[in-house]
Structure 1
Amino acid sequence: MEYRMSLTLTQAVPQNEIATCELLLDYLEKIGVEYVFGIPGGAIEPLYNALAKSEKRGGIKAITARHETGAVFMADAYARNTGKLGVCCSTTGPGATNMVTGVASSFENNTPLLVITPQASQDKVGKKALQESGDTGVNIPGMFQFFTKYNSYVTHVGQFEHKLVSAIMSAFSMPGGPTHLNIPTDVLKSHIPPKQHPVNINNLLSRPYLKDEKAIQALISELRHSKKTIFVIGAGAKGCSRLITDCINDLGIEFVATPDGKSFINPYHPAYKGVIGFAGHKSASKALQSDAVDSIVLIGSSLGEFNSNAWDQLSLLNNKLIHIDNNEDNLTRSSMAKLQVGGHIPTILEAILENNRTQIKNKEKISTKSVIDKTQLFADICIDNQKKLHFELDDSTKTKDRSSPLKPQFLMAQLTQLFPPNTRYLADNGNNMAWAVHYLNPYDRRFSGRRSSQRDQKDRRAFSAGLLQINTEFCSMGWSVGSAIGTALAHPNDPVLCIVGDGSFLMSGNEITVALQEKLNIIFLVMNDQHLGMVKHGQRLNKSADIANTLPNISYALMASAMGIMSHTIETAVDLLQLDTNKICERKGPTLLDVRIDAEEVPPIATRLKGMK
C-alpha cells in the first residue's frame, strides 16, 4: 500500500487558540527559518496545511524532496551555509526511517537540525495502525535516540510548546546537532490556548561566550616563548577567517588545514603549506614535522581519522600540540597535547591578537623606529594576487595534461579558472572528494588581509561560508546532490558546483529535479568512470580481490535531458574549455556535466588505507 496517503482535514478553530502547526511555524519564523524540507503524506498533512497558508503570505516555504534522506541533506546544507536551524519532516513509517542516514550524518557533523516525524493518532496506537511508529510498532523515537541531541514523543498537546522550545534550544547548544520530535496526528491537528507569558525564543538562544582566562593566558605564554609556531585550521574555524588571517599575518606564522578546514582558508596565501589528513599534501606533513616547530596550534577539529592524518603521532598528535576548541568532546581526543584551551574560538583568537599588538606597541615606545616592516606583508599580498600555490601537489604535471579521457587532476585545476570566484563547491564522498581536497583550490580574498569594496564584492565570500564543502566523519555517499540544493537556497546569488561520482549520483541523482523545479543555479558535475572508484583503487592498493566495483556506461547527460535539464557530455579538454560557463552560471535552473575521466588515475587516498590497517 502507498504510504504517502492524502487526507483532507476540516476543523473549526476554537476562539483565541492557535493551531499546533501554525505555532510551530511561528517559532521557526521568529528565528529566521525560510524553508521546511520534506515529503508530504497523510499523517504529516496538518503541517503542510499550515505551510500552505505560510507560503501564501510569503512566509516559510515547503521544499519537496524526492527521498527523505535528500530532504535531510538539504536541511543540513541550509543550516551549514546560513547558521540558521535546518528543518526537515517526513510522514510516518518508511518516510521516517528513510531519514536515518541523513540525521546520523548531521549528528556526526554537529549541524543544528529540527527533525519532525508524525505518529498515528493516540487512539489508534497499539492497534496495528497503518505505519504505526511508536513503542508498539516500529519504534521511530527509539531509533533516533542514538544520534540526536534531543528526542521526544509528544504524547499530549499540553507538552507541545515546551518540547518544541527544548528541541530548538538543544539543536543550537554547543556543539550543535539534530533534534527530533515525534508528534501524533491528533496533536498536529490540535489547537493551543495562548500563553499568559509568551516565550521569547531568540532570547533563549542567546548564550554568553565561554572564556577560560587561565587557559588563554597559558596559551599566550606558550606562543610568546615558542621558537616556531604553526597553525592547523579545522572545521571549527568557521566564522573565524578574518581573525585567523590577522593572527597569521601579525604573528608571521605558517599554517595548514584539515580536509574540512580547507573550506575556510585561502590556498594561495604564501604561508599556507597544504592539507594535513585525507588526500593531503606532503608539504603539510613536512611543515608540521620540522624540528624547528615547537608549537602546533590546532583550531577546531574533531581529530577523527580524516582530519588527523589517520591519528598521525609524528605530525600532529604529540606533545607539541595546543588544541583550541569549543567542543569538549573533541578535546577528549587530544589528551597528549601540552595545552588544551576550551571555549569560544573567536574570543580566544581575539585575545591572541590583542596580546600581540600590545607587545608591539610597547616595543614601539622603546624603539625610535617601528618594529613592523610592512614591506614583506605587501610583497606577500602581491604574490597572493598571482594565485600561485606555495605547497606541493602529488603530481602537478597532470594538472596541465590535456589528454583524453580527462585526468581528474586537470579537471580540478581548470574548474576554478572556468567558474566565477563566487562559485560554491561541494565534493561528494569517494574519489572525487580526494581529487577535490588535493587539487581543487578556489580563490578567496579573506586571507589576503584586505577589505573588499562594494564593487568587488562578487570576488569575496562571507566569512562563515565554506569555499569547498565536504562531508567527513559519517561520509554518506550521495549527500552532495541534496546538499547542493540547500546551499543554493541559502545563497541564491552564487552558482553552486556539485562534484559527484557516478556511483554516488546513481544513489541520489533524482534530487536534481528539485533544482529544476525551484529554478536553482546548480551545476552537477558527474565524474563518470564507470566504477565505484574508491572501492576499486582501495582494493588494488590493498592487494584485495577486484570485485563488485564496476558500473554500467551510462549517459548521465541523456538522463538529465530526459528530465528537462540542460546537459553536456565532456570527453576532451576542448569540450571542457569551450563550455560557456558565463551562460551556465546565469541560467535560472540546473545544468549537468557528464565528464568522462580517466578511470586508471590513482587518487591520493593513502591516508585512508593507513586508517584501515
Structure 2
Amino acid sequence: MAVINQFADIPQEGKFQRPLEVGDLLIDYLAQLSVDYVFGVPGGAIEPLYNALARSARRGGLKSVVARHETGAAFMADGYARQTGKLAVCCATTGPGATNLITGVASAYENHIPMLVITAQAALSNFGRGAMQDSSCTGVNTVSLFRHCTRYSTLVSHVDQFEYKLSTAIMTAYQSPNGPVHLSIPIDILRSPVNVQAPSFNLANLLTRSSLVDDEAIKKLCRLLGQARKVVFVAGEECGEAINTLLDLALLMQAEVVTTPQGKGLVSSYHPLFRGVIGFAGHCSAKETLLDPEVDLVIVTGTGLGEWASNGWDTKSLLNHRLVHIEATEGNLTGSPMAQLHVRGNIKTVFEHLLAYVRTQENLQGSAVIPPSSRYLLERRFQLDEEEKYNSDSTPIKPQRLMKSLTDLFPVNTYFLADIGNSMAWAVHYLQPLDRRISGRRSGRNGIFRSCLEFASMGWAIGAAVGTALGASGHPVVCITGDGSFLMSGQEITVAIQEKLPVIFVILNDSALGMIKHGQRLAQAESIGFELPEINYSDYAKALGIPGYIIRSPQDFLALDIEAICQRQGPTILDVRIDPEEIPPIKVRIGVLGKGENDE
C-alpha cells in the first residue's frame, strides 16, 4: 500500500522527515478497510490519536466525529457500520472516557456488530503511581472491564506489539460471532515512532470471507424440502446478505415468510408472502402462520432465537421439532437445541444451494418459476391489532396513527430507526414503510427499518441515526424515540447539527417512561418512577437553532413541508403529543417477566 507522508503539511528542514507514529499507523490500517470516520470524545491521554486524525483529515482521509458522550460515540459507530457494512470504530480517553463507552460497546456485543474500540491509558511509566484517571491494571482496570463485552481486549504495552495486536483484534471482530474488540494503548505508545513506513499487513485480504457450507446438512435439508407439505421461512437480522435469495426461494415454493422483530425491514410489508413479525410486538398473523397444522417445516435463519425473536421462547409456534436452523454464527445455534437439523455455513451460499435444488425439482415437474421482479399491489397480507386506531384522526394523535403518518409522509428511500421503549413496540407493530423494492430485494445490509433489541439500550437510535446519516448520503433518516430516551441521550442531536445531517427526530412525548408506566399497569404492579416533566421539545429545537414542530393530531402533519425537511442540511425535531393512555403491544414481555398473561 502506498503511504502518503503523514507530515507533508508540516514544514521540514532539509531532508529531515518525522517518522510515523503509532496513531498514524492505526489510521493507515483503517484506511485499508475504507473506514471514513472515527467516533469519539477527545481527552489528554488519547491526544496522539486525534493528532493523527487531524493530519488524516487535512489529506482528505479519515476524520473524527466528536460525540457529546462516549456511549453516543459507540452508538454512532454502530449505526454507521450497519449502514455501510464497514468496520465501526470508536475511541475514548482513559478512565471515565473508557468506562462511558461500555454501554454502547455492550450493545454492539449483543447485536454482533464488528467494532474496533480504542481507549487510552496513562503513560506506562506512570502505572501504579496514582496517575489521574488511571485505568491500568493498578487502577480501574479497563482491559478487564471490556473483556466482558468484547471478543478481544488487550493492552498494547510495546510498540512492536501494535501491528500484531491490531490485526488480531480486527480479524477477531469479523470472526463468528462478529462483535467489538478493544485495544488499550498508553499515551506514550500512541505517540511513539514506528520502524515502518507502511502497514506490514493487508487487513482487507485477511478479512476475505469463506463461503464454506455443510454439504451433508444441505443434502438433508433438500430432502426435507422435497417431503414437506408446507414451509415457512423465519428471517432474522443476520440474513440480510441472503434475503434476496431467500425471497426468490419462497416465491418459487409459495412459502410464507415472517421476520423476527430485529429482521423487520428486510422484507417489504407488502410482499405477497409476508405474514408479519413474530415475537415482541409482533402480529397475530405471523403466529397463526406458524401454528397452521399444515406447516411441517419451519426454516429459521439469522437469529439466536432469544426472548425477542422467539415470542418469549414459545414452544408451540416456533421452538419445536419442525424447526431447521441455518446459521453462519455458530453461537446462534445454541438457541435451538430442539431443532431437527442445524445447517452451518454462509447463509447466502446455503440458500443458493436450496434455490438450485428446488428449481431443478420444479422444472422436472413442469412448474413455472415466478419472476422475483414481478410487481405487487400495495396490500398487506396481515392484520394489525387495532386497525381502527391505525386509521384514527382523533386528538391527541394515537401512536398507532403516528406510525401510519410516518409511512405516508416520508419518501421511500427513508431509513427508520426505533429506540428502546414504547417507541420500539409501536414501530415494530405499526410502522410499515413503503419501499420502491416491493419484492423485498435490497442490499446485503440491514433494511429500511433498524432496531437494537438484544441489549436494548435506551438512546441507541439517537446516536445510531447520526451514524446512519453519515453513511447514507442523500437519504432522510428518521429516529423514532421517546421523551425518556431523548432526555437521556438527546445531546447527540448537536452532532447532527454540526455535521449538517438530515435526521428527523420524532419524539413520542407523553411525559412518561411509557414502557415502565404501561408495564406496571399490565403487571398490576405499584405505579412508581415513570413520571417525566412536561417539556416543549419544539422550543428546545429552536433554542438549538433548528426547526421544531408540535404535532397534536394527524392534521398537523399537513402543515409540514416534508420535502424541505428531508432536504435541509441539518436535523429537525417533531414533538409529537401522543395519547398517553394507549397501551403498546408489550404483553409478551410482561408475560416473560412472569407478572402478566402472555396472550399475544
Q: Flag whether TM exceeds 0.5 (same fold).
A: yes
Deviation of 1:196 (Å): 9.8
Deviation of the 1:521 alpha carbon = 0.5
Q: Is the 8 A contact 1:446 1:463 kept in 2?
A: no
Amino acid at match of 2:591: K
1:559 corresponds to: 540
Within a 5 Å distance, the mapping from 1:87-486 to structure 2 comes to 87-194=89-196, 198-364=200-366, 371-372=367-368, 381-382=374-375, 384-385=376-377, 387-446=378-437, 448=439, 462-486=443-467
Q: Is the 8 A contact 2:550 2:574 kept in 1?
A: yes
> In 2, distance between residues paired with 1:434 and 1:197?
46
SS of the residue 2:265 aligns to:
helix
Partner residue in 2 for 1:593: 574
Verify the 8 A CA contact 1:157 1:190 in the aligned structure 2: yes
CA distance in 2, matches of 1:525, 1:434: 15
- Counterpart in 2 of 1:3? none
Matches of 1:449 and 1:196 in 2, distance apart?
43
Superimposed CA distance per residue, residues 317-360 of structure 1 (whole angstroms, 9 cap, x where no aligned partner): 00000111111111011010111111100000000111111223
What is the alpha-carbon distance in structure 1 between the residues aligned to residue 517 and residue 212 of structure 2? 47
Shift, 1:449, TM fit: 7.2
41 and 132 in structure 1: CA distance in 2 versus 1, 3 angstrom threshold:
same
Tell me, yes or no, if the aligned pair for 1:242 and 1:447 is still in contact at 8 Å. no
1:270 & 1:146 partners in 2: Cα distance?
A: 43
Deviations 1:44-90 (A, max 9, x none): 11011111111111000100000000000000111111111110001
State the SS of the aligned residue for 1:499.
strand
User: Structure 1: how far apart are the matches of 2:593 and 2:86?
Assistant: 36
- Partner residue, 1:573: 554
Counterpart residue type for residue 372 of structure 1: A
Partner secondary structure for residue 287 of structure 1: helix
Counterpart of 2:480 in structure 1 is 499
How far has the Cα of 1:579 moved from its partner?
1.4
Change (3 A) 1:575 1:445: closer
CA distance in 1, matches of 2:503, 2:404: 20
- Distance in structure 1 (CA, Å) of the matches to 2:174 and 2:197: 24
What is the SS of the residue equivalent to 2:200?
Answer: coil
CA deviations on 1:427-455 (whole Å, 9 max, x unpaired) are 000001000000001123445278xxxxx
For residue 496 of structure 2, give the secondary structure of its aligned residue in structure 1. Answer: helix
Query: Given the alignment, which residue of 516, 521, 540 partners 1:540?
Result: 521
Q: Match of 1:465, as an amino acid?
A: N
* 1:246–1:449 contact (8 Å) kept in structure 2: no
CA contact 1:516–1:589 (8 Å) conserved in 2 = yes
Q: Could you tell me which amino acid in structure 1 is paired with residue 104 of structure 2? A: G
Aligned residue pairs total: 584
- Find the counterpart in structure 1 of residue 66 from structure 2: 64
CA contact (8 A) 2:330 2:344 kept: yes
**1:524 matched to which residue of 2?**
505
Does the 8 A contact of 1:242 with 1:446 survive in 2? no
Measured in 2, the distance between the counterparts of 1:17 and 1:55 equals 18
Larger mean CA deviation between 160-169 and 192-201 belongs to: 192-201
Contact 1:154 1:160 in 2 (8 A): yes
- Report if aligned partners of 1:170, 1:179 keep a CA contact under 8 Å in 2: yes
Contact 1:86 1:113 in 2 (8 A): yes
1:515 aligns with 2:496: yes
| Structure 1 residue ranges without an equivalent (≥5) | 1-8, 365-370, 451-460
Residues 532 and 550 in structure 1, CA contact (< 8 A), matched pair in contact too: yes
Instruction: Specify the code of the residue in structure 1 equivalent to 2:176.
Output: M
Q: Counterparts of 2:289 and 2:277 in 1: how far apart (Å)?
A: 11
Deviations 1:190-232 (A, max 9, x none): 0111289921111111132221000011111101100000111
> Structure 2: how far apart are the matches of 1:174 and 1:16?
40
Q: Secondary structure at the match of 1:524?
A: strand
> Do 1:92 and 1:132's aligned partners in 2 also have CA atoms closer than 8 Å?
yes
Measure how far apart 1:465 and its partner are.
3.5
Once the two structures are superposed, residues 84-142 of structure 1 have per-residue CA deviations (whole angstroms, 9 ceiling, x without a partner) of 11100011111111001000000000100000000000111110011111110111111
Q: Cα RMSD over matched residues? A: 1.9
Secondary structure of residue in 2 paired with 1:123: helix
**Aligned residue identity for 2:269:** P
1:348 counterpart SS class: helix
1:454 maps to none
Distance in structure 2 (CA, Å) of the matches to 1:241 and 1:402: 36
CA-CA distance at 1:463 after TM superposition: 4.4
Q: Which amino acid aligns with 2:351?
A: L
Kindly state the Cα deviation for residue 400 of structure 1 after the two structures are TM-superposed. Answer: 1.1
For the residue of structure 2 that corresponds to 1:415, the secondary structure is helix
Q: Relative to 1, partners in 2 of residues 1:494 and 1:196: Cα closer, same or farther, differing over 3 Å?
A: closer
User: Deviation of residue 17 (structure 1)?
Assistant: 3.8
| SS at structure 2 position matched to 1:238 | helix
Relative distance call for 1:335 and 1:11 in structure 2 (3 A) is farther
For 2:388 and 2:220, the matched residues in 1 are separated by: 45
Q: Which runs of 4+ in 1 moved over 3 A?
A: 9-17
Relative distance call for 1:168 and 1:435 in structure 2 (3 A) is same
**Are the counterparts in 1 of residues 28 and 199 from structure 2 also a CA contact under 8 Å?**
no
Deviation of 1:373 after TM superposition, in Å, equals: 7.1
Equivalent residue, structure 1, for 2:7: none
| Matched-pair contact (CA < 8 Å) for 2:210–2:346 | no
After TM superposition, give the deviation of residue 16 of structure 1 in Å. 8.0
* Conserved? CA contact 1:241–1:447, under 8 Å: no
One-letter amino acid of the counterpart of residue 56, structure 2: S
Normalising by the residue count of structure 1, what TM-score does the alignment of the two structures yield?
0.93
Moved more, 332-341 or 572-581: 572-581
Pairwise CA distance, 1:241: 2.3
**Aligned position for 1:85:** 87
Find the aligned partners of 2:57 and 2:197 in 1 and give their Cα distance: 26
Structure 2 unaligned spans of 5+: 1-9, 595-600
How far residue 363 of structure 1 moved from its aligned partner, in angstroms, is 3.2
**For 2:438 and 2:264, how far apart are their aligned partners in 1?**
12
Alpha-carbon separation, structure 2, partners of 1:91 and 1:305: 35
Partner of 1:183, secondary structure, is strand
How far the C-alpha of 1:553 sits from its partner, in A, is 0.6
How far is 1:147 from its partner?
1.0
Q: Tell me the alpha carbon deviations over residues 267-314 of structure 1, each in whole angstroms, 9 at most, x when there is no partner.
A: 111211111000001111111001100000101111110010000000
Distance in 2, Cα, partners of 1:89 & 1:278: 33
Distance (Å, rounded) in 1 between the aligned partners of 2:561 and 2:468: 23
Once residues 177 and 168 of structure 2 are traced to their aligned partners in structure 1, the CA distance between those partners, rounded to angstroms, is 15
